[in-house]
Amino acid sequence: MNVASIIPDDRLERLSNAEITRYSRHLLLPQVGVDGQRRLKAAKVLVVGTGGLGAPLALYLAAAGVGTLGLVDFDFVEASNLQRQIIHGTRDIDRPKVASAADRVKSINPDIRVVTYNTALKSDNALSIIEDYDVVADGTDNYPTRYLVNDACVLLGKPNVYGSIFQFEGQASVFYAKEGPCYRCLYPSPPPPGLVPSCAEGGVLGVLPGIVGTIQASEVIKLVVGAGGAGGAVAGDSLIGRLLLFDAWAMKFRELKLRRDEGCPVCGKAPSIRELVDYEQFCGLKPAPGEEPVESITAKELKARLDAGDPLQVIDIREPHEQAIAPFPGARYIPLGQMARRAGEIDAAVDAVFLCKVGQRSKFAIRALREAGHRGRLLNLQDGVGAWARDVDSTLPQY
């Protein structure tokens, strides 16, 4: 779909001689030209997340000359990020990601304005942050924030440049309710909690977010440049109404056509969502009313009980290739996918402690056992094997 530039003419400023030199390769493209580069200079783009997808997004948008770049993230740089989050370096470990990303962006292009938000994007701050920007680029890695970004963009009339990655596969699209479908039209409801592992649990090929993130950056630039360029040349087709699928292992691209769902609760003909909601509740990450909460045990508490000789069953629900990375001493291995048919192996008369990498999939296993009728005491190792390696056994690798 061809879309005119979202940047109004009254915000355009002239380019300095230094800017003409810096962006000369853009200016030589008739689809961009002087007018398109002026629109990039006037544009305000918010990048949500400065991790795998946010890294190439922020780097290329800064290099392209986007005048104001907003960066939202609440996390700190960890060693495991550096395999793919190329905006950060080894010396940035333990720094806030937005601080590290801002430094790197400014080193590429000191002329742009960088605004950092060292906070989680939530229902109570999303509208006030997003309303100041022309485009939102979604580099998040969780469903609650994806639905939050989508709904906020629809309510504010902003385009949402979407990307997601998992293992070897990526997706990209542009959700812009003024011109086409939104994220909820494609995914009306989130998957059940625990069904889709995060990248931290399932892994990701390091180069994949670079490929998908640069596709997102390209879509942002096209939205900003729009019909700009010498002679009024039109922009190339946007990903509005299209979902681009990429498989890095097979090195194949596919494309699906998307249509607006007229019954969509946020962008349809009779929307029922007119304000932001509790997205963790919507995605099932909070216990439902009346649901028994999952009881947790810390790594130090588990160590104390094991040292005291308490009767315990320690159940490791990770997949075999994960167990090989950091085996948990004395655990019985029952992968999550086998839990239903092997539930009889768990003695209801003895406390059972479930563990995974970060303590999320093990919660899903406990809830599944309860639904299957298991009545024994089920405990979740808080923060998973990572907490054990951090607080109890430093010889165990953290991954």
Of the residues 182, 264, 267, 356, which is catalytic?
356
Backbone angles phi, psi at 25, to 5 degrees: -70, -25
Burial of 102 (0-12, 13-18, 19+ CB in 10 A): buried
Backbone angles phi, psi at 209, to 5 degrees: -65, -25
Tell me the HSE value of 49 on the side-chain side, using a 13 A CA sphere: 24
Closest CA to 159 of 53, 340, 7, 31: 7
Helix, strand or coil, per DSSP, at residue 352: strand
Closest CA to 58 of 161, 199, 179, 177: 161
- Tokens read off for 379: 């405990």
| Maximum alpha-carbon separation in the chain | 80
* Contacts of residue 116, Cβ cutoff 8 Å, sequence gap at least 6: 70, 71, 98, 99, 101, 102
Helix, strand or coil, per DSSP, at residue 138: strand
Backbone angles phi, psi at 384, to 5 degrees: 65, -155
Angstrom distances, CA of residue 81 to CA of 188, 197, 391: 31, 17, 21
DSSP 46: E
Rounded to the nearest angstrom, the gap between the alpha carbon of residue 175 and the centroid of all alpha carbons in its chain is 16
Go through 285-307 and write b for each residue having 16 or more CB atoms within 10 A of its CB, e for each that does not: beeeeeeeebeebebeebeebee
Q: Are 58 and 69 in contact (CB under 8 A)?
A: yes
Active site residue 283: no
Report the distance separating Cα 28 and Cα 34, nearest Å.
Answer: 9
Active site residue 356: yes
> Is the sign of the CA dihedral 42, 48, 50, 56 positive or negative?
negative
Of the residues 182, 199, 267, 283, which is catalytic?
199
Closest CA to 132 of 72, 52, 58: 72
Residues noted as catalytic: 199, 356
